[in-house]
Homo-oligomer: A and B are copies of this chain.
Amino acid sequence: MSFTSHFSSFKVDAEAAVVEFVGTTVFLLLGLGGIQVAKGDPTTDSGGSTIEQVLYISTCMGLSLLVSAWLFFRVTGGPFNPNITLALLLVGEIKPLQFVLFCIAQMLGAIAASGLLLALTPGPLSNGVNPAQGVFIEMFITTALVLAVLMLATEKHHATPFAPVGIGLTLFACHLWAVSYTGAGMNTARSFGPAAVTGFPYPKHWVYWVGPCLGSFLGAGFYSIFKHYRYWSRPDQT
């Protein structure tokens, strides 16, 4: 392999690693966020029984991986997990360079998700998010939902007829994290309807217009970027 093809391979791998970073961030933002909700506030006993917490955590992590893997499956096929990446290296599915790049991307994604959770949420289960945090939470979860629609339904592939399942489960996973903080609007109509028939009781109703709209832009932006690079990196994953 010549230097040029080495470099072109590196470029493809680096692009895939960026998607691994984004995917790992989405997976762990929803998953670790849900765990934070399950653990409850240690100062007030708001949580349920042990068994409820375990079921809740399992649901959060399981669904977060299910939907984030589904969204990015055709891009990198990536499980957002260095141990899976190691196994793929061992069975010869990926090459050492990819392995290294993917592991770095996954570690950075995990740090990004943990950092975002620290910044966006006021610690274990509390409703005390301020409007700015609320806007960003709404933006991130709407971005996930937008990506679900664009990657599963707009893109045509074998699983497209089942896009509604993936979209519904994305909404499920986003709720598991965000219900406790913002009520998980991520749909201005969903927030507007009840507010309209009850006389707009909440003064911060604008959060559910601004946050999800930003999510529309962010999701559409990510999709446009992926659209450029996707088909080259994993042409076999249909």
Which A residues are within 8 Å of any B CB, using their own CB? 24, 28, 31-32, 37-38, 40, 46-59, 61-67, 69-70, 73, 77, 79-84, 86-88, 90-91, 93, 103, 106-107, 109-115, 118, 125, 142, 145-146, 149-150, 153-154, 156-159, 161-165, 167-169, 171-173, 175-176, 179-180, 184, 186-190, 192-194, 196-198, 212-213, 215-217, 219-220, 223-224, 236, 238
Contacts and interface: CB of A to CB of B under 8 A. Distances in A.
Contacts of A53: 51
Nearest to A115: B197
Nearest to A72: B164
Nearest to A158: B161
Contact of A54 (B179, B188, B194, B217): B179
Contacts of A110: 189-190, 192-194, 196
A61 B175 contact: yes
Contact of A168 (B66, B83, B156, B193): B66
Contacts of A112: 193
Contacts of A176: 54-55, 58
B51 A48 contact: yes
Nearest to A83: B212
A49 B180 CA distance: 12
Nearest to A49: B48
Contacts of A80: 187, 189
B172 A58 contact: yes
Contact of A52 (B52, B66, B82): B52
Given A114-B193, A193-B107, A50 B40 contact: yes
A54 B150 CA distance: 27
A28 B158 CA distance: 29
A67 to B, nearest CB: 7
B32 A167 contact: no
Contacts of A63: 168, 172
Contacts of A67: 164, 168
B90 A32 contact: no
Given A66-B168, A197-B115, A87 B48 contact: no
